[in-house]
Amino acid sequence: MIDIDLPQAEVQALKRSIETLKRKLPNELAIAVNETTHKTRRAVQDSIKNKVAIKAGTIAKSIRKGSRASKMRLRSAVIVGATARLPLKEFGPNQTAAGVTYKIEKRGARKLVTDSFMGPTPRKRNPKLGGHAFKRRGATRYPIDKLHGISPWGTYVQSGMDTPTRAEATDLLRARIMERVRVNLLRADGTIKR
């Protein structure tokens, strides 16, 4: 969970910008916090997507926003949920004569799991296996194990994304509060009427 404090200098600037308007500071701060939460969630998703070759929709399922901030509760969160490792079918597997190749890292090379399979022969998948890759435990036909890659949460933790994400979220919050200040100043001098 990403948790940051309100920057006091920007909060004071926002307070001064609404003195002549019929606006309430908690409402304005709640808007800034919710916008920051939305943008931070997207930034975390993009950071993970830039690191690993997983579809954005798959990553988005493991990142959620906490409850929305309100004037009574100026708090929201971006939560990167601890999830199980994704099946290898999420990493573009292909069966070759030597085994199954896959690509986890966006900028890395394809890797090979020798003696693994997705179907009876290379480039021919068994529909009953659902696109998954498997490997036998021993020399006998069964048991077989489904192969897995990494999870979005694992990528987030192993890549040390938490500290830069907190810094980015703090900068985003400052920027969103200052945007509220700008809008309120335009309201005060009559440039905009909303």
User: Is residue 193 included in any domain, yes or no?
Assistant: no
* Nearest residue to 58 (alpha-carbon basis) of 36, 93, 89, 100: 89
Domain identity same for 67 and 23: yes
pTM for the full model?
Answer: 0.84
pLDDT tens by residue, 175-184? 999 999 999 9
Handedness of CA 35, 38, 44, 50 (dihedral sign): negative
Q: What pLDDT is attached to residue 121?
A: 74
Domain identity same for 49 and 103: no
Q: Residue 25 has which token pair? A: 């500071």
Q: How many domains does the chain have?
A: 2
pLDDT tens by residue, 46-103? 999 999 999 999 999 999 998 899 999 999 989 998 989 999 999 999 999 999 999 9
The domain containing residue 95 runs over which residues?
88-146
